[in-house]
Amino acid sequence: MTPPLVSIRGLCKTFRIPGAYPWSPSRTVDAVKDVTLDVADGEVVALVGQSGSGKTTVSRIVLGLEDPTAGEVWIEGKRWDNLGERERQLKRISYQYIPQDALAALDPQQTVLEHVVETLMVLARVPRAEAQDKGAAMLARLGLSHRHGALPRELSGGEQRRVTLARVLALEPRLVVADEPTSGLDPERRASVLEDLVGNLPARAGCILVTHDLDAAFPYCHRVVVMLEGRVIETFDPKKDTPIHPYTRSLLDPWQDAAPLSSSAAPPRSPPYTPGTP
């Protein structure tokens, strides 16, 4: 059987927080607690939960931007979390990250086209002429063909996010981890950005979509993984299943009369996921 694109096993992450003063005792925070999940080829998995639920920490560990306290991360059948950065660097072009703060991720002195061209030339070693053509083609697919010469500060929030999408998608990655790519956008623009992201993924690429907006993620993902207090509390197919955990229902309808929101309020509803064609 073909291994999953991403396999996370028993992932834990504990942060040590220093005290307010040099003589104050430090404390520990368990940000991720025994998380296990898989992402298959071509699958979009939404990792959802409120701020502080652990979803961003999981996504950063997957890409090697944070080291786990315990557990394992496997990508394309190979152990990833225990590699040194020199070994990881060889694969980073294939495993890409879309940051939450699009404007902070962009060079204020570079135009839209220059951002994509430089990414292709530096990371993929594409000659400048070819990078110009590939960059222009990707920007056209994302509706930015008329904005080649614009600087980041001249773009709308949705356009800034599409530039970050273009830089990543032009590399034709195997894995994309998108951290709140629609944060701060109105509902119409959120849907448009998610459609551009998912609709332009390479054929076999997997995607981990980190978001607190469960309703917006529903139409664009194959599976939803809900986190609360560092744990996975529910996993379901949004096209087939009805969420049963009160916390998940509260994310869909904040005004409902839900039970107290705790990871122990109900057991995880789904059996272990079997990788396969989503």
Q: What is the 3-state secondary structure (H, E, C) of 124-155?
A: CCCCHHHHHHHHHHHHHHCCCHHHCCCCHHHC
Pair 228, 263: CB distance under 8 Å: yes
**What SS3 class is residue 82?**
coil
Q: Per CATH, which fold does 1-18+27-94+175-271 belong to? A: Rossmann fold (3.40.50)
pTM of the model: 0.86
Q: CA–CA separation, 107 vs 153, rounded Å?
A: 10
Query: What pLDDT shows up at residue 51?
Result: 87
pLDDT tens, position by position, for the chain (278 residues)? 788 999 999 999 999 998 888 888 889 999 999 999 999 999 999 999 988 899 999 999 999 999 999 999 999 999 999 999 889 988 999 999 998 899 999 999 999 999 999 999 999 999 999 999 999 999 999 999 999 999 999 999 999 999 999 999 999 999 999 999 988 888 888 889 999 999 999 989 999 999 887 777 888 899 999 999 999 999 999 989 888 999 888 887 765 554 444 544 444 444 433 444 44
Q: CA–CA separation, 33 vs 214, rounded Å?
A: 21
Extents of the domains making up the chain: 1-18+27-94+175-271, 106-172
